[in-house]
Amino acid sequence: MLEWVAALALVGATTFTESMAGQAWQSTRDTLARILGRGSEEREQRALARLDETAAEVVRADGADEAAVLARVAGQWETRLQDFLDEHPEARGELEALVSQARAALPEERATRVTQTLSRNRIKGDAIVIGSAGRDITIGRKP
């Protein structure tokens, strides 16, 4: 999987999940469904139904249950967005713009910082080199 796909799916899923209980969700919901539909009315309607179902779960969650529900829902949408971006990489710009718009509309207390960390991973086969904070991390053998 491409690094940008994983990162955008993670940030998008987290942002959209946090947005679901807010006032700006309707606009985000409609735009996200249109992006996911890729011009197909049927796919767009399925996306709307899934988004509405998920948003209802988020709105019903409260107290100690809220964090668990948000984490589960964000995980589900992360997987969906990864699959979608793998299939439709041309949607990257649209999705990035929507994530930025949705993040800007979040109240400060709902905004979540997303960090990905790799630690002690072993990969067999070709090496992957990733730049990080002024140094390179090599996973596997150096090329």
Total residue length of the chain: 143
Q: How confident is the model at residue 9 (pLDDT cuts 50, 70, 90)?
A: very high
Q: How would you classify the pairing of strands 128-132 and 135-139?
A: antiparallel
pLDDT for residue 139 is more than 90: no
Q: How far is CA 108 from the centre of its chain?
A: 19
Of the chain, the percentage scoring pLDDT greater than 70 comes to 74
Distance from the first to the final alpha carbon of the chain: 19
Report how far residue 132's alpha carbon sits from residue 139's, in angstroms, rounded to the nearest whole number: 12
pLDDT of res. 136 = 41
Q: How confident is the model at residue 62 (pLDDT cuts 50, 70, 90)?
A: confident
- Is pLDDT larger for residue 126 or for residue 71? 71
Is residue 117 exposed (0-12), middle (13-18) or buried (19+ Cβ within 10 Å)? Answer: exposed
- Is pLDDT larger for residue 53 or for residue 63? 53
pLDDT of res. 140 = 36
Q: How many CB atoms lie within 10 A of CB 82?
A: 19
> Angle 25-37/41-60 helices, nearest 10 degrees?
140
Report how far residue 92's alpha carbon sits from residue 86's, in angstroms, rounded to the nearest whole number: 10
pLDDT for residue 143 is more than 70: no
Report how far residue 115's alpha carbon sits from residue 126's, in angstroms, rounded to the nearest whole number: 25
pLDDT tens digits along 64-121: 788 899 999 999 999 999 999 999 999 999 999 999 999 998 876 554 444 344 444 4
Q: How far is CA 12 from the centre of its chain?
A: 3
